[in-house]
Every structure is written in C-alpha cells, then in structure tokens.
Chain A
C-alpha cells in the first residue's frame, strides 16, 4: 500500500467523520471539532497530493451498484499538484473557519457542507475516470451552493447570487457532460486514459473531436471564471462566508484550470491552433476585464472575486501560448509557458487564500466589506494588515513573492517564444505581453488601493473604531498563507522544478541557492540573492536613519499639514471610489459608469450651494450586454410555458395519459 493509497482512504474517512461530527456535535463545540477534522482531512489530502506529485502511484476503487465501471480515484502527477493546492487552501480555510464561522455560517448544515466541500474540490483532480470526475464535480457544485446559501435569511442579495451561481455552474456541468459523452461514445471506455487513446486514433475525424473540445472548454472556463462566463464570480464570492470564498477562489477556480491543462497535456495532446488562439483571446479578455473591474470595485470581496477572473485569464494566456508554441516547434519556450501556467495556479492559490482570509478577518472585526467605510485598521489589526499586505504584494506580482516569480516565468516564455518563424505567434506574443503588462500595472493599483484604503490613514466610519485583531486560529491561518506565499517566492527554483515534473517540462532547473534557471531559454532568477541585496541596501539606509532618529527625535503633531494645517475630518480622505476615479475616466468606454450629481442650493441665493451629492454606479458590462437580453428571452419563454400548468389535477392526469399513449406508440413500432 503506497502513501497515495493510504492518503486517499484516510482523507475520505476523515472527511466522512467530519461531516458526521458537524451534524451531531453540540453547537458550542461544533466549530472546533468539525473544523479540526476538516483541517486534518485537508492536510491528508495535501500530503497525498504531494506524494502523487512526486510520482507515487496509488488508487482507490469504489464499486457501485450501478451498471457502471467502478469509480476510480488515482491521481497522476498533474492531478497531485492540484490536489496539493486544494489541500493547502482547504487546510488554511478550515483553520480560519474555526475562529471565523459565526451566525448562520456556523450551523450544522453549513459545517457539514463545508467539510464535504473540501474533499470534493481535492478529489476532482484525483478522478481517473469520467463518471467519478463528474460525480465529484457535481458534489463540489452542490456543497458550495449550500454554503453560499448560509446567510440567505438576512441578506436578500445572497439569494440572487446563489441563483446566478447555481445556473452558471450547472450550465457548465451540462457542457462537460456533453463533451465527455461525445468522447466516451467515441472511445467506448470511461477512464481518462482510454479517452486519450481514442482521441489519439480518431484525431483526423474532425467534427466530433472539435465539438467535444469546445464543450469541455466551456465547462472548464465557466468554473475558472473566464469572461464571459465569469458573471457568477463577483456575485458569489462576496456573499459566501470568507473561508468558503477562499476555497472557491483559490482551489475551486483552480479545478477549471486543471481541466484546461488536462485537455492540453493528457486528454487531447496537441490541440488545434484555433483552440490555443481562443484560449489566449479568452485569457486576454478575462485578465484585462477582470482587473479593470477589480480596480474600480469598492467591495473588497467583489474586488478579490474579479481578481480571480484576472488570474484565471493569465493562466489561460500561459496555457494557450504553450500550445501555440509547441505547435510551432518551439518546445523550450512552450515548456516554460506551461510551467508558468501551473506556477500561476500555485501562487494564485497562495495569495488569494491569504487575501480572502484577510478580508474575512476585516469583516469579522468591523462588519464592513465596503472599502469606502474602512481605513486606519493597521494599528488595530497589525497581523491581519501584515498578511493582507503580503497577499497584496503577491497579487501585484511584486518581489519577493510567488506571484512575482510565476509572472516572471511567463514573461520569459513570451519574449523567447517570438523567435520562431510562425507569423501568428510573432504577433500574438507582443499582444499577450502588452496585455499581461497592463494587467500587472492595474493589479498593482488595485492592491495598493485595497491595502492602503483599508488599513492606512484614519477610519472612515464608526465600525472601524471598535475593531479588534482576530482570534488566534484566524491569525495563524492568514500568516501561514502569507508565509507560504513568500516562501514559494524565495524558493523559486524548487517550486518550478516540482511543478515542471508534473507535465514533463524539460529545461527547468534549480540553482544551489534555490534560484531558478530556465535552461530552455537561458534565463535566470535568484530571489534569495535579490532579497539579500535589497536587505543589505536597506540596512545601509536604515543605519543612518536610526542614528539620526537617536540624535534628533521627531516631533509629533496632532495635525497633518495638508496644505494649510486644516483639521481634516476622515470624510475628507481619499476613498476607494475616488482612488479609482482617474481609471474610471480613462476606461470610461469599457466600464460605462452611470453617474448622478445632484446639487442642492440654499433658498437665499441660487449660487450658494448647500450640498452636492455624487452617486456612481458601475455594473458588470458583460452581464448587462450579454446576459440581460438572454434573461429577457428566457423569461418570455417561461411565461408562455406557464400556460401548460394551471394547478388542475385533471389536467396533470391528462398529461400522464398522453405521455403513456406516446410511450406505447413509440414502443410498439
């Protein structure tokens, strides 16, 4: 029995125990017990994933009473990577949940759903056949829907968010089901290996293969939150409890990316060029649209939700470029791009988990998600602020975090990929580079805004004044996430090598100082030495600064100078809305804000203004342009269909009779 064999069984057993405990335990002990069991199960999954990543084989076969092949869980190396990602995210989220879950999100149902949600996210990449893949996928959808509904009694927008989420998830599921059905019909088997073999031999037979490819891509893109299938994301993430949002964003969106990588490397290797170009286009649209919406969002969790779309977009760009480059014969840069995609997935999981947990901690302390009403939290919640700021550095791809390293690898793939003869590649590369660069720039602004407005300056509302640092489990989870983020950024080489092993990418090496050497494109990065250099230089500056601090202590005043020493009230500070105002203007055509300025004048004279009210609303443009018309059509159709039922029992019986006659007629033929 290998480690993976054992791990899979242990993981499932612990999760099952966790569900039972969540349902049975007394309310005051529920969080601690169920949370601990969930964390342990996630840790077991993490270890199993790491073992599978290292190449250990193992399987768990479940026979069913259904006339199907037995369900098989057998993670390969790629699956192991995503299992490990989900395990890590789950571990931190469960730990955080122990301290965080309160009110409706700590009910027996919620905890049971959460404990069941974690293994479903982790086992999607472990599934070795189509049936178990789809079963686990659906389990993931259902449990997360239940979790989302936790607080539906208090906040009406939860219901609408859940509706969007459920519909989009299930449309995605249908697409996957159809796509896999085509492949299964072609191959006659249900395991992923059989499917891959059938695809290999049927490659030339066009139509169905391309159809299945398109359907699967739609299904996975919806889960990853790519534009235009992202609409559920900015609604669901803010409404879910924060530790659930962390798993949904860090790990569940990752399963969508896992699906896309699965297509490209295992299920249908060497996909056609249209697929790669479509993926790059989807990626560019998602990255730019996602980060643009994030940069103007004021709800911190909505901001993070859109940032998930952005990061999924970056991963899609990397994957699409990898496929394009491989088709062009540029295997070196292609491998680098593929590794970039996976590293982005790892780093995104790390920083997004940290950020969502940090946001959760802020919500826990203040009850506010609106950045415009936050501020000045740094002295009150120093640990949350530290973790959130580190997460922000990661999301902005700044050194020394995993986000920086993975983006650097992507940039290297792009600039070395454009040397081939392919003209399409030659044009796509600079466009992709420009999109990645603009995304990175806007991500920087977004994160400065989120961190700066929430934690610096002075509080903008009463809620902030009473904020307290979160309890120990929450702080531990946040700091652990931030620590992993920095650690992976410093140990760039080992991370890249481990990730490269899962997709057999060649020419990715680690140096003796944990640096990264891309032999395939001859480029190197040394985060340890870079950090060392910066630290030495910081010491050089800090030394004199401290010396001067001793000699001439600073004077504290109560007033910021503010060009005239006015005692500015917090309401005069820049808010998140005002921070993003220049961007709203620059990208006005893409964001289409609705603005409303109402000027109230005094009675005495029309030119004396008493009050100016400014209201700005930013809606999701894609949703407005694409989904509203669709919804209208659906509503009209539904109106028509209503006529079919009027509540009369006789009519329903008549329907049954008609159905019976139809079946008999069909059978007798």
Chain B
C-alpha cells in the first residue's frame, strides 16, 4: 500500500512538473530563437499568459461542428497520460502499469487522431487539409518510431521504458554505442515530425497553405484552443524530455523518496531547458522542407533506425 501510494505520488509530481514546465519549454524555445535572431522576444512566460487569456475568453463555435468540445479534451488527456507513463522525473511507474513504449506510442496516436478529427470536423477546406497532411506525416513516421523503439529496447531486452532507462543507467557504455546514437537521432527526427516542428512543419507560420498543425485548430477558440495548445506542448515537452533522458539518463529518480524526486525534477528541468534552447536556436538555421520532400527526410530517419538495429547485432 505504501509502495502504491508513493508511486502514485511520484507520478503525480511528474504530471504537475510537466504541466508547469511544458509552456515554459515552448516559451524558452521561442525566446532563444528571438535571441539568436536579435529580437527582444515575448518572454519565456508568454505561453502561460496565452493560456490564461484563452481560458478566460468566450469560445466561438460554428454551426455544424460536433467535436470542438470533446476532441481537445481527449487530446489533453492523452498527452497527460503520455506524461504519466514516460520516465521523465524518475523511472518510478504506476504499479501494474509499466510505461511500455508501444503503449505510449498508441496513446500518443489517440491524441493525433483526436486532432485530425478536430480538423475534419470543422468542415472547412483548411481543416481538412491540415488533417490530411497531419495524418500522412503520422503514418509515415510510424515505421521510424517503432524500429527506433526496437533498437533502443534491444540492450534492455524489453520495451518497458523504466527497464530501458535502468539498463542505460547501469551500463552507460550502451548509450554511446553507434546503435544507440543512431536510434536516438532517428527518434529525434520522428519527434520533430510528430510534434510539428521545423523542418516538417513551421509552428510560427501565418500562411494557411503551408500550415499543418495550425490549419487543424483554425476553428478552435477560447478554452478549446487552450486545451489543444496545452496538449500539444505537453506532447512536445514529454517527447523532448524522453529523448533527453535516453541520451543523458543520469539524475532520474529511481525511487520515490523526496530527495531523489527533487534531484529528478531539477535535472529534468535542466535537460528540458537545454533542449528548448537548442531547439529554438537550431530552428533559426532550418527551413521548412516542402511537404513532398518530407517522405525523404522520414525515409532517412527510418534508414538510421534500421541500421541501428542491424549494427546492434554487430556489436554485442
């Protein structure tokens, strides 16, 4: 019972930290981009201000739309579930609910579907367009994700995330192996595509014809939009945090003791902040590729993931 309670407490702490940090990750990425470009920027807290503003606004809903209320809630709930399952603050998982990577991917996909359905539901040309592109990218990313998961899971002999992390903590040499590096790079590209960052989608675009994510949420407003935005930011933060933890697993809490959790929170925030700065600064130098060049990028990342699997056979 004590173990159960402490595990629930650890996961709750992780959820709270992620909800608090996800908007800051986005804010920091935007701000660092602004710094590199020599602009003043809106400040790291701007996403939080946006959220507050959206929550206080009156939503406007067009006639004939049915899922503008439900789909954002589903998206946010799945994002939270992902945050609860992925080892971020620590590798402590809910008892009897191991954070299996395949399950995490499926839960993420439920969110992806919710967003795509939201776009289709709006009944406008832009919504359908965004939804169609979003699903095409999601479908093509899938092989990279699963094969990279496969490669990452080979040393641990399991697809359970906590076991993978523990294995990496126990044998740091596996992290620097070429197989693991290729797999993490492939996973990184997949994460960029899945969360709609450059070079696949431009999150700051104002040109409807190039939009993917933004086109789907054009009809959302007020709190509906707030849920969608928070859900998307949580996805980004959780996945970036996961990639960060795969590369630098140290600092994660392996027990639910307050001290370990505190260390876990601090290192997680440091990793997230560093990733956000790198992401924002790197995006200055990247251009969005044409939609029909995206398969090329994804095929490349798939090749990386596949070679990660084969090279892991070579070096044991």
Contacts and interface: CB of A to CB of B under 8 A. Distances in A.
Chains A and B directly touch (beta carbon < 8 Å)? yes
Contact of B142 (A440, A525, A549, A578): A440
B43 interface: no
Contacts of B142: 437-438, 440-441, 444
Nearest to B55: A548
Contact of A457 (B56, B100, B122): B122
Interface in B66-103: 66-67, 69, 73-74, 76-78, 80-81, 84, 94, 96-98, 100, 102-103
A305 interface: no
A530 B218 contact: no
Given A434-B143, A548-B223, A456 B97 contact: no
Contacts, number: 249
Interface stretch (A70-78, A252-260, A534-542): A534-542
Interface in A540-556: 540-542, 545, 548-549, 552-556
Contacts of A442: 139
Interface stretch (B151-159, B238-246, B248-256): B151-159
Contact of A574 (B96, B129, B154): B129
Contact of B123 (A399, A440, A557, A568): A568
A196 interface: no
A487 B59 CA distance: 36
A440 B129 CA distance: 21
A526 B69 CA distance: 29
Interface stretch (B26-34, B113-121, B269-277): B113-121
Contacts of A448: 113, 116-117, 120, 131, 135
Nearest to A404: B106
A522 interface: yes
Nearest to A524: B98
A511 B110 CA distance: 25
Interface in A287-303: 295
B143 A399 contact: no
Given A442-B139, A530-B97, A411 B63 contact: no
B259 to A, nearest CB: 27
A533 to B, nearest CB: 6
B123 to A, nearest CB: 3
A534 B77 contact: yes
Contacts of A515: 96
A151 B47 CA distance: 60
A27 interface: no
B74 A441 contact: no
Nearest to A539: B77
Contacts of B150: 414-415, 418, 430, 433
Interface in B46-69: 55-67, 69
Given A412-B159, A434-B306, A578 B128 contact: yes
Nearest to B65: A560
Interface in A366-408: 376, 378-379, 396-399, 404, 408
A439 to B, nearest CB: 9
A561 B218 contact: yes
Contacts of A416: 157
Contacts of B136: 445, 582-583, 586
A445 B98 CA distance: 28
Given A437-B142, A441-B140, A376 B64 contact: yes
Contact of A399 (B103, B112, B292): B103
A558 interface: yes
Contact of B139 (A444, A524, A554, A558): A444
A390 to B, nearest CB: 13
Interface in A497-541: 511, 513, 515, 522-526, 529-530, 533-534, 537-538, 540-541
A537 B84 contact: yes
B80 A554 contact: no
A9 interface: no
A396 B113 contact: yes
B54 to A, nearest CB: 11
Contacts of A437: 142-143, 145-147
Nearest to B135: A445
A557 B61 CA distance: 6
A452 B131 CA distance: 10
B210 interface: no
B124 A560 contact: yes
Given A419-B157, A562-B126, A582-B132, A538 B146 contact: no
Given A541-B73, A562-B218, A534 B128 contact: no
B196 interface: no
B41 interface: no
Given A448-B113, A560-B124, A397 B106 contact: yes
A561 B145 CA distance: 35
A376, A442, A545, A583 — most chain B CB neighbours (10 Å): A545
A529 B147 contact: no
A534 B64 CA distance: 28
Contacts of B113: 396, 398, 444, 448
A540 B76 CA distance: 10
A559 interface: yes
Nearest to B211: A563
A456 B67 contact: yes
B37 interface: no
Contact of B97 (A379, A399, A526, A572): A526
Contact of B313 (A295, A426, A554): A426
Nearest to A529: B97
B109 interface: yes
A530 B158 contact: no
A586 B100 contact: no
Contact of B58 (A451, A554, A563): A554
A400 to B, nearest CB: 9
A592 interface: no
A65 B59 CA distance: 78
Contacts of B66: 378-379, 456
B63 A558 contact: yes
19 contacts: A396-B109, A399-B103, A399-B107, A408-B102, A418-B309, A434-B306, A441-B142, A452-B116, A452-B120, A457-B122, A545-B227, A554-B222, A560-B62, A561-B218, A562-B126, A562-B218, A574-B120, A574-B129, A579-B135
Shortest beta-carbon contacts, A-B, top 5 = A574-B128, A441-B142, A441-B139, A457-B123, A452-B120
